[in-house]
Amino acid sequence: MSLLDKLSKSKSKAKAGVGSKSSAEQHPDVFVSEFRGVRSLHLASEVNSDTSVAPIQGSMRLAVPDQIELEYVQQMCVWMLFNMLPKHIVQLGLGAASLTKFCYRSFPDAKVTAVELNPKVIAMCREQFRLPEDDERLRVLEMDAFDFVRQTKLHGKLDVIQVDLYDAEAEGPVLDSTEFYQACADCLTETGMLTVNLFANDKQREKNIAAMQACFDVVVWLPEVHDANVVAIAFKTAPEVDFDVLYQRAAILRVNYKLQAPIWVNGLKEWMLRD
């Protein structure tokens, strides 16, 4: 079976659901914790009221604030293996602003837009996680992620969308419908890519992958790195893949950006060789 046949086959393996969780709930409070030089962001709720039980929404190593601390967050940059000249990168769900800061610093010719519904998260990222103020390249928007991608003026305009949308309970992506993923696909250029953090149980993960497969030419997911985080990458158009070239690019990413990119290529290759 050819690579393109293998990639295309993944699209038809499951049927997608159409429901999505509401984003209209009251914004939870935000707090931080620090341990061994790493500052982490948490969302409080009736269930998660302290750092002993509240899931980590993002982390920053104080000594290197612009590097990506968590491995699964690094995996969200797997698109860099296929495009090192993006013009517009969008982050849906700010977290601790790790991806937003990294993209802003790493791609000085690109526009970077972050979309976050909770104003408390935005404020905390600016106060405690060194998120820069908006300028001609960086915009941080306080709005619903679904509303953002439903804007027709964005159709065909974005090169990369990174999705990390979770509430305080972090029991699965807040937006997980076919309609949401189709709206994301509509915003991408023909060679555009979507990466999604799927921190979820198997049923929720399968639902999200099925929804993406209904909207994108190819959907691939990397092996789980820790704590049930699985990162998927969806291609609007199936890419040409040469693993020798990908390993060469991965070596450059490891040296220049401190990313574990060779492991990503291993994961992509492992996915390709599955039965």
Digit-coded pLDDT (tens) for 14-36 = 333 333 343 435 788 888 999 99
Query: What is the rounded CA–CA span in Å between residue 44 and residue 28?
Result: 6
pLDDT band at residue 53, thresholds of 50, 70 and 90?
low
Residue-wise pLDDT tens digits, 130-188: 999 999 999 999 999 999 999 999 999 999 999 998 754 555 577 889 999 999 999 99
Angle 41-227-102 (CA atoms, 0-180°, nearest 5)?
50
Query: What is the rounded CA–CA span in Å between residue 245 and residue 230?
Result: 24
What percent of the chain has pLDDT above 70?
A: 84
pLDDT band at residue 56, thresholds of 50, 70 and 90?
confident
pLDDT of 107 over the 90 cut: yes
At residue 23, the pLDDT reads: 43
pLDDT band at residue 259, thresholds of 50, 70 and 90?
very high
At residue 9, the pLDDT reads: 43
- Strand intervals (E) in 172-238: 188-199, 218-221, 229-235
Secondary structure class of 86 (helix, strand, coil): coil
Contact 253, 259 (CB under 8 A): yes
Query: What is the rounded CA–CA span in Å between residue 61 and residue 36?
Result: 9
Model pTM?
0.87
Compute and round to an integer the Cα radius of gyration of the chain: 18
Domains (ranges, CATH) in the chain? Answer: 69-272 (3.40.50.150)
pLDDT of 263 over the 50 cut: yes
Query: What is the rounded CA–CA span in Å between residue 263 and residue 18?
Result: 33
Which residue has tokens 């993209």? 103
Query: What is the rounded CA–CA span in Å between residue 212 and residue 158?
Result: 17
Secondary structure class of 119 (helix, strand, coil): helix
The residues with which 229 forms a beta bridge, in sequence order, are 199
Residue-wise pLDDT tens digits, 89-103: 999 999 999 999 999
Pair of tokens at residue 182: 């189709």
